[in-house]
Amino acid sequence: MTRAVLTLNAGSSSLKVALFPLDGDTPLASGIADRIGPEATLRLKDAAGAPIVAAGDLTSHTSALAAVIAAFRCQWPGLDLAAIGHRVVHGGIDRTGPEKVTDALLTDLTTLAHFAPLHQPHNLAGIRAAMAAFPGVPQVACFDTAFHRGQPFIADAYALPRALYAEGVRRYGFHGLSYDYIAGVLAKTEPQLGAGRVIVAHLGNGASLCALEQGRSVATTMGFSALDGVPMGTRPGQLDPGVLLYLMDQKGMSATAISDLLYRQSGLLGLSGLSNDMRTLEASDTPEAAEAIDHFALRCQMEIGSMAAALGGIDALVFCGGIGENARHVRSRICARLLWMGIELDPGRNAANARTISADRSHTKVLVIPTNEELVIARAARKAVVAG
Contact 143, 101 (CB under 8 A): no
Catalytic positions: 144
Question: With contact defined as beta carbons under 8 Å apart, do 172 and 223 qualify?
Answer: yes
The residue among 60 and 205 lying less far from ligand ADP, judged by its C-beta, is 205
Residue with smaller CB distance to ligand ADP, 91 or 204: 204
> What sign has the CA pseudo-torsion 67, 68, 69, 72?
positive
Nearer to ligand ADP, 278 or 317 (CB): 278
C-alpha distances in Å from residue 296, one per residue of 174, 204, 332: 19, 12, 12
Nearest approach, Cβ of residue 180 and ligand ADP (Å): 16
Beta carbon of residue 108, minimum distance to ligand ADP (angstroms, whole number):
27
Our CB check for ligand ADP shows the closer of 142 and 308 to be 142
Partners of 10 in beta bridges: 15
Q: Which residues pair with 44 in a beta bridge?
A: 31, 52
User: What's the closest the beta carbon of residue 27 comes to ligand ADP, in angstroms?
Assistant: 16
Q: How far is the CB of 186 from ligand ADP (least distance, A)?
A: 19
How far apart CA 224 and CA 266 sit, in angstroms, is 18
Q: Which residue is nearest to ligand ADP (CB)?
A: 322
- Pick from 54, 58, 50, 18: nearest CA to 34: 58
Q: What is the DSSP annotation of 178-214? A: HHHHHHHHHHHH-HHHHTSEEEEEEESSSEEEEEEET
Residue placing its CB nearer to ligand ADP in the complex, 213 or 282:
282
Chain centroid to CA 296: how far? 18
User: Distances in Å between the alpha carbon of 14 and those of 36, 90, 147, 219, 359?
Assistant: 6, 18, 24, 30, 40
Please report how close the Cβ of residue 348 comes to ligand ADP at its closest, in angstroms: 17
CB of 206 to ligand ADP, least distance (A): 4
CB of 281 to ligand ADP, least distance (A): 8
| CB neighbours of residue 203 within 10 Å | 26
Choice between 13 and 205, CB closer to ligand ADP? 205
Helix (H) / strand (E) containing 163: helix 162-166
Decide whether 85 or 322 has the Cβ nearer to ligand ADP.
322
Identify the burial level of 361 via C-beta atoms within 10 angstroms of its C-beta, where 0-12 means exposed, 13-18 middle and 19 or more buried: exposed
66, 69, 70, 72: CA torsion to nearest 10: 160
Distance of alpha carbon 338 from alpha carbon 263, whole angstroms: 30
Distance between CA atoms of residues 316 and 209, nearest Å: 13
Rounded to a whole number, what is the largest CA-CA distance in the chain? 64
Whole-angstrom distance, CA of residue 120 vs CA of residue 380: 19
Binding site for ligand ADP (CB under 6 A): 204-206, 233, 277-279, 282, 321-323, 326-327
Cβ at position 268, least distance to ligand ADP in Å: 7
Looking at the Cβ atoms of 265 and 326, the one nearer to ligand ADP is: 326
